[in-house]
Amino acid sequence: MLEIRNLNAHYGHSQVLYDISIDVKAGEFVSIIGANGAGKSTLMKVIMGLVPVSSGKLLFKGNEISRLEPWQRAGMKIAYVPEGRRVFGELTVAENLRIGGWVEPPQDLPRRVEKVVAIFPRLGERMNQAARTMSGGEQQMLAIGRALMLEPELLLVDEISMGLMPILVNRCFEVLKQLSEAGTTILLVEQNARKALGVSHRGYVLETGHIVLEGEATRLRDDDAVRRAYLGG
């Protein structure tokens, strides 16, 4: 579904991603783990079109998308949960969800809102509340719910666990696992390697802009180098 071939990208003048090749097949749940500053968020922004590709290929369902605007990629049903949630704080929950389904037919939105509320009943209670007045956990649910409004073919998730209480982290990973089991293709970048590899099929390890390791999630969890560097021994 997503093919990245020999991709390089810069943030300003400095190169952040070097010769990245990643595959995500339809229905797969793939995690990219790595330390802070390894280039994970930049990679997500490159796929979404928020950071330009310097060279290399970026294919979605066989089509080169690296020259498309971000809103055109959203129109191809690539949804994005940004790092730090980035919900629209001054807008209500309902308005945030409306924007998540911006490229979809308006008459279909009520059905999608119902689906999101079925996953996160909390959002249903807060429909007319400004997003900034909600807790961090609720905002993370909203950020995921907003992305699901697209009924995405590819869901990009940037750091789902950041700044959340452990119980909420578990809840968020559980939701991703359920979405994956229901057939959604997911690409997750995550610092919490243990959790990420626990729910995904395959993983990549990103270090200072290079992919240094890839494989089945179970195999990565047992890899000595990965254990030492990312799983705490």
Partner 1 sequence: MLVQQIINGIVVGSVYALTAMGATLVYGIMRILDISNAGAYAIGAYVAFFFLLQTGSPLVALVTGVALTAVFGFLVQKFLYAPLMNKSPNVSLIAGIGLFIFLQDFLRLVAGPQARELNFGTLLPSIQFPSLQLTLYGTWFLILAATALLLLILWLLLNRSPIGLAWRATAQDLETAKAMGINTNRVVAFNFILGYGFAAVAGILVGILYNSVYPTMGDVPAYKMLAVIVLGGLGNPLGTVLAALVIGMAETLIGGYVGFFLPRDAIAFVVLILILLWRPQGLLGRRRSS
Q: In the complex, which residues of this chain contact partner 1 (CB under 8 A)?
A: 48-50, 69-71, 74-75, 80, 82, 86, 88-91, 95, 98-100, 102-103, 106, 146, 150
- DSSP character at residue 149: T
Cα(9)–Cα(32) distance, rounded to whole angstroms? Answer: 17
Distances (CA, A) of 105 to 100, 110, 149, 194: 12, 10, 11, 39
CB of 46 to partner 1, least distance (A): 12
CB of 149 to partner 1, least distance (A): 9
Strand order through the sheet with 29-33: 78-81, 154-158, 185-190, 29-33, 202-207, 210-216
CB of 168 to partner 1, least distance (A): 21
Q: Which is nearer to partner 1, 33 or 143 (CB)?
A: 143
Q: Which is nearer to partner 1, 96 or 195 (CB)?
A: 96
Q: Which is nearer to partner 1, 19 or 52 (CB)?
A: 52
* Alpha helix (H) residue ranges in 91-165: 93-100, 109-119, 121-125, 136-148
CB of 159 to partner 1, least distance (A): 15
Q: Which is nearer to partner 1, 79 or 217 (CB)?
A: 79
Kindly report the backbone phi and psi dihedral angles of residue 205, in degrees, each rounded to the nearest multiple of 5, phi listed first: -110, 125
CB of 94 to partner 1, least distance (A): 10
Q: Which is nearer to partner 1, 79 or 196 (CB)?
A: 79
